[in-house]
Amino acid sequence: MKKRRLGNSSIEVSVVGLGCNNFGILDIESSRKVVDRAIERGVTLFDTADIYGNRGGSEEQLGQILGERRKDIVLASKFGMAMDDDESKARGSRAYLMEAVEASLKRLKTDWIDLYQLHRPDPKTPMEETLRALDDLVKQGKVRAIGCSNLPAAGIDDAAAIAARAGIVAYVTAQDEYSLLVRDAEKELMPAIARNGMSLLPYFPLASGLLTGKYQRGHAPAADTRFGRMQRFSDRYMNDTNWGIVEALEKFCEGRGRSLLELAFSWLLSHDCLASVIAGATRPEQIDANIKAAEWSLSPEERAEIDRITAKA
């Protein structure tokens, strides 16, 4: 498995990561099989969040499953989403953050988190307060590096400037939506990530499954799929524009003896600022497919053709 560095940190991760948002929803034995296969195949980046798995379930399962293997992986988690129904909380504040990290460490059964990420901006808290609290966690050895998620380009620039001015730890990653069907990040976000020495970790890299090739236009999604379970995802991605792009991409892949899944992974990894493609899995076979999918090296001509096909994205 190839590895890339997280921004300007010393942490290297596998180019295929495991998104752990299904853990805590899956039964623990199903989650264990996925984790076992991922570690066996050389996946080192495991990305979770305190909110995943119905508020805490994903971290709890990982804590139970990893055991001694914890030291062999790069464990990423997040804070800042609602862990209860109290909307008055400032979830980027120092007080909240200190409680959140201790709760995550306890659930994960570990002494440290490799990459601790602000899940979304907190309008109630100045960014400097959040960064100073994170800086303290790094100094205490509870966190190795920090990242952000869902910050706009201007927010990334501001956070980097604050960190430089204060002489404190800076974000090394940004986790944001990016895929063949959602390319908005290229306009402002990715340039901001690059100029601040950060790495992009794309979420929804497969457009919630539309880029796996398992769905067809005009056919209702199976009940056990994400689109079948969650109407908001099918409403968002299953539109005529996206279907047209997907069908054109499928023809592009067929002419090269490749799959749509291979294209989705390999195209993402053709971008230098991207560190790892984090994809969820509910079955061990999906780990194998994701790893295989990352092996295609696209030519400049192929990338240009993909740009033409996905222009509307």
Is residue 96 part of the annotated active site? The answer reads no
Judge whether 162 lies within some domain.
yes
β-bridge mates for residue 47, sequence order: 19, 76
Q: Is 8 a domain residue? A: yes
Mean pLDDT across the stretch 264-292?
96
Burial of 297 (0-12, 13-18, 19+ CB in 10 A): exposed
Higher pLDDT, 154 or 84: 154
- For residue 88, tell me if it sits in a domain: yes
Q: Tell me how far apart the alpha carbons of residues 39 and 281 are, in angstroms, rounded to a whole number.
A: 13
Phi-psi region of 141 (alpha: psi -120 to 50; beta: other; left: phi over 0): left
Q: pLDDT class for 97, splitting at 50, 70, 90? A: very high
pLDDT (tens digit per residue) in 189-213:
999 999 999 999 999 999 988 898 7
Does residue 242 form part of some domain? Answer: no
pLDDT confidence of residue 231: 65
Dump pLDDT digits (tens) for 3-34. 999 999 999 999 999 999 999 999 999 999 99
- Residue 223 resides in a domain: no
Say if residue 81's pLDDT is above 80: yes
**DSSP 3-state of 71:** helix
Give the burial string for 167-184 (b: 16+ CB within 10 Å, else e): ebbbbbbbbbbbbbbbbe
CATH of residue 15's domain is 3.20.20.100
Which residue among the candidates 52, 116, 171, 215 is catalytic per the annotation?
Answer: 52
Q: Say if 307 falls within a structural domain.
A: no
3-state secondary structure of 57: helix
What is the arrangement of strands in the sheet containing 171-177, beginning at the earlier edge strand?
A: 199-203, 171-177, 143-149, 113-118, 74-79, 45-47, 16-19, 277-280
pLDDT at 233 over 70: no
Tell which residue, 43, 24, 110, has the closest CA to residue 71: 110
CA pair distance 238, 109, nearest whole angstrom: 40
CB 178 within 8 Å of CB 202: yes
Domain that holds residue 110: 3-216+263-298
Could you read off the pLDDT of 270-280 as tens digits, one per residue? 999 999 999 99
How far apart CA 105 and CA 63 sit, in angstroms, is 9
Q: What is the mean pLDDT of the chain?
A: 93
| Residue 87: predicted pLDDT | 83
pLDDT score, position 28: 97
Three-state SS sequence of 114-179: EEEEECCCCCCCCHHHHHHHHHHHHHCCCEEEEEEECCCHHHHHHHHHHHHHHCCCCEEEEEEECE
What is the tally of structural domains in the chain? 1
For the beta carbon of residue 54, count every other beta carbon within 10 angstroms. 9
By percentage, how much of the chain surpasses pLDDT 70?
A: 95
What integer pLDDT is reported at residue 140 of this predicted model? 98
User: 144 or 232, which is more confident?
Assistant: 144
Phi, psi of 310 (to 5 degrees): -95, 15
Domain membership flag for residue 241: no
Per-residue pLDDT reduced to its tens digit, 133-180: 999 999 999 999 999 999 999 999 999 999 999 999 999 999 999 999
Tell whether 304 is covered by a domain. no
φ, ψ of residue 124 in degrees (nearest 5): -85, -10
Q: What is the pLDDT of residue 222?
A: 62
Q: Is the pTM of this model over 0.85?
A: yes
Question: Are 140 and 162 spatial neighbours (Cβ–Cβ below 8 Å)?
Answer: no
Q: Is the pLDDT of residue 218 over 80?
A: no
The pLDDT of residue 232:
66
Token pair, residue 51, equals: 């909110």
The predicted pLDDT at position 25 comes to 94
